[in-house]
Structure 1
Amino acid sequence: MKLENTTDQQILLNLLNAFNKGTEAVLSLFAPMATVEYPYARSLGSAYQLTMDDYRKHLDNILGDMPDIIFTGLTVYPLNEPDSYWAEFHGETTVPATGALYQQDYVVNFRLENGKFIYYKEYWNVLPVLKTLMGKEQAQQIIDKPIIY
């Protein structure tokens, strides 16, 4: 079942809008002990399991590369477990340093507690990150490096 204009969908929409308002706006939507995971970031050599302190540093680093990001196609799917959801959406922005168009389709799994994110796991394609958010040499080094699990 898909959610249409519910409180839970609004909470996720508030998060997406907060990415254009800065780090503090984003963090205000998370519980202090929340965790954020980016499973595919590991293949880029980036942190993939973040505490709120780690997430603050990540946001401070990345938000400048993704100004005025526009999210569309938001759909939220409730799970049987209370306050647990899957969602999908599309994001686009122009990267200031290169003028490249960053386009990404996201799938997220999240849990809420008292209206705040307590767990947020975001899946995305590494190719748009390599093509638009990283320098060509850095991207090639990542592509050439074997992944050790």
Structure 2
Amino acid sequence: MMTVTSREIVDQMLRAGRQMDAETFVELMAPDGYIEWPFHPPGTPGRVQGREDIRQFLTATAQPFVRFDEYRDLVVHETADPEVVIAEYEAHGAVVATGEPFEQTVIAVFRVRDGQIQSYRDYLNPLPVAEALAAAAGADRGHA
């Protein structure tokens, strides 16, 4: 049996995120794994832990909000710790409610153990998220 490297797991996770494949995304997480956003806009969670909570967050909250078309300038850094992988990229897509372009700068730090992601710390820029949330809320009010 071939061993899957931490980097390969992170590559799979990034692909699942870009494709909005919530099931693959959740399956790559450890059962008690977590996603954390150290810099998050008010009104959004700072951390979601456990597969079921992550699945619910992805399908109820995040998925209909932003669509990602591509990740540009992706650089994946393997570290001296074989469990830790860092990814840097520019996410480009659109706000689903408005169709407005959405761009996000991301640095994410992953800890992978036994082929599953234990932690996914997403150091995204909170400003585009806050602006998109405000625009989507405005679009929702316009349709009421």
> When the two structures are superposed, what TM-score results if normalisation uses the length of structure 1?
0.77
How far is the alpha carbon of 1:114 from its aligned partner? 1.6
Any stretches of 5+ residues in structure 1 without a counterpart? 1-5, 139-149
Aligned to 1:121: 121
| Contact map agreement 2:98 2:135 (CA 8 A) in 1 | no
Q: How does 1:100-111 map to 2 (within 5 A)?
A: 100-111=100-111
Aligned to 1:3: none
Identity rate of aligned residues, in percent?
26
Q: Which letter maps to 2:49? A: T
Aligned to 2:14: 16
Q: Which letter maps to 1:50? A: V
The structure richer in strand per residue is 2
Aligned residues: CA RMSD: 2.2
> When the two structures are superposed, what TM-score results if normalisation uses the length of structure 2?
0.79
How far is the alpha carbon of 1:21 from its aligned partner? 4.2
Cα distance change of structure 1 residues 57 and 134 upon mapping to structure 2, 3 Å threshold: farther
Aligned to 1:57: 56
How far is the alpha carbon of 1:51 from its aligned partner? 0.7
How many residue pairs are counted as aligned between the two chains?
132
Any stretches of 5+ residues in structure 2 without a counterpart? 139-144
